[in-house]
Amino acid sequence: MRKLILRAFNISLDGVSAEYGSDYFNWCMTGIDPRVTEGSSPHLGADESLLDPTGELYRGADALLMGRVSYQNMVTHFAPGGDQPDHPWTGIFNAARKVVFSRTLKTADWANTTIADGDLAELVDQLRRGGDGHIMVYGGLTLWQSLIRLDLIDVFYLSVLPYVAGEGRRMFDDIGRYGPLDLMSSTVLPNGSLDLEYRRRR
């Protein structure tokens, strides 16, 4: 059965992943000292130490899962006509199989995109069956939390910023009882961010 891998960027040291009322995980790219986020965002000139391994994870995925907000954001950046035509991930995302979990999105014009609006656990189970490899969970926060509550995430790749937000939505709020994670790797980036890989202990 394929592993489900969650990749989350720009998490504050106190665990905040989005502003209240938002699902967008690049919330911290505005309004704070730019030295905190320099080189840490996949959309704003991230260094190769962050882009290369994550790009390989996306390239090797059987599918990319996301919610509506993340999908619409990706279209703005990476779909044909988007504002990031030269980004190293643009070709990867255009070629990838994309599955959008949404009950409000009615059409998806980006190539290789499917809208899924049924039972989340059943849909993910169907996607995971029938082969090896992995499936990437791109975002956003609401989808992440739903998958965590269902204990479907096998691997967490988390980029933690040297910044305390103080308030906002936290990834691991309101997920119920969970369990231990095993640290598989850790990398310190030039701006002081930590790139962490945790595996769910089964």
Out of 2-6, 41-45, 95-99, 138-142, which region has the weakest mean confidence (pLDDT)? 41-45
pLDDT > 80? residue 46: no
90 sits in which H/E element:
helix 90-95
The pLDDT score that the predictor gives to residue 45 is: 38
User: What band does 23 get if pLDDT is binned at 50, 70 and 90?
Assistant: confident
User: What burial class does residue 151 get, using C-beta atoms within 10 Å of its C-beta: 0-12 exposed, 13-18 middle, 19+ buried?
Assistant: middle
Per-residue model confidence (pLDDT) at position 123: 94
What is the share, in percent, of the chain residues with pLDDT greater than 90? Answer: 51
Spatial CA neighbour of 70 closest among 124, 40, 110, 39: 110
Please enumerate, as own/partner, the contacts of 26-29 that have beta carbons within 8 Å and a separation of 24 or more: 26/73, 27/168, 28/161, 28/163, 28/165
Q: What is the mean pLDDT of residues 154-177?
A: 88
Homologous superfamily assigned to 3-176: Dihydrofolate Reductase, subunit A (3.40.430.10)
Burial (CB count within 10 angstroms: exposed 0-12, middle 13-18, buried 19+), residue 126: exposed
Is the four-CA dihedral 48, 35, 194, 90 of positive or negative sign?
negative
Question: Which pLDDT belongs to residue 25?
Answer: 56
Burial class (CB in 10 A: 0-12, 13-18, 19+), 118: exposed
pTM across the whole model: 0.86
pLDDT tier at 44, thresholds 50, 70, 90: very low
The predicted pLDDT at position 26 comes to 55
- Residues 195 and 49: their CA atoms lie apart, in Å, by 10
Structure tokens at 92: 């990867």
| pLDDT of residue 48 exceeding 70 | no
Predicted confidence at residue 36, as pLDDT, reads: 52
How confident is the model at residue 166, as a pLDDT? 84
pLDDT at residue 24 in the model? 65
Q: What is the pLDDT of residue 168?
A: 86
